[in-house]
Amino acid sequence: MALTVQNIAFDCEDAFTIATFWSEVLGLPLDDDDNPGDPVASVNRPGGPTFYFERVPEQKTVKNRVHVCLQAGTDRDAECERVLGLGASVVADRREDDGSGWVVFADPEGNEFCVLGRRP
């Protein structure tokens, strides 16, 4: 028997705000029934797992042990600038001059994710 990934869950303080950030990063809409102040919100990825956001009482305190890696389509550096403009912050820049490497970002609530360059 095999398991299927249903969603990737994010604990957060403000589910709607963080879901909106990720909606813009991924270029996908929020669910139609998500509204400001809701305790949960989600971004459905066609053919892939849902990004699910749930309000929790505690704040993030340490580095994520699991994070999302996003592959840039053609221009990693342009995508990095775009997510910075959406409110992400750089945690670590591991870009190489040959176009490989990645940048580790944090979303507005500190959840880490990477934007990857071209595959070696």
Q: What pLDDT does 119 receive?
A: 64
Q: What pLDDT does 10 receive?
A: 94
What's the average pLDDT block by block, 10 residues per block, for the chain (120 residues)?
85 96 96 95 92 92 87 89 97 90 94 84
Q: What pLDDT does 81 receive?
A: 96
Question: Is 107 exposed, middle or buried (CB count within 10 Å of its CB: 0-12, 13-18, 19+)?
Answer: buried
Q: What pLDDT does 61 receive?
A: 84
Domains of the chain and CATH, by start = 7-55 (3.30.720), 67-120 (3.10.180.10)
Contacts of 68 (CB under 8 A, 6+ apart): 8, 113, 114
Q: What pLDDT does 99 receive?
A: 80
Residue with tokens 């940048």: 103
Exposure on the CB side of residue 79, measured as CA atoms within 13 A:
23
Q: Judge if pTM exceeds 0.95.
A: no
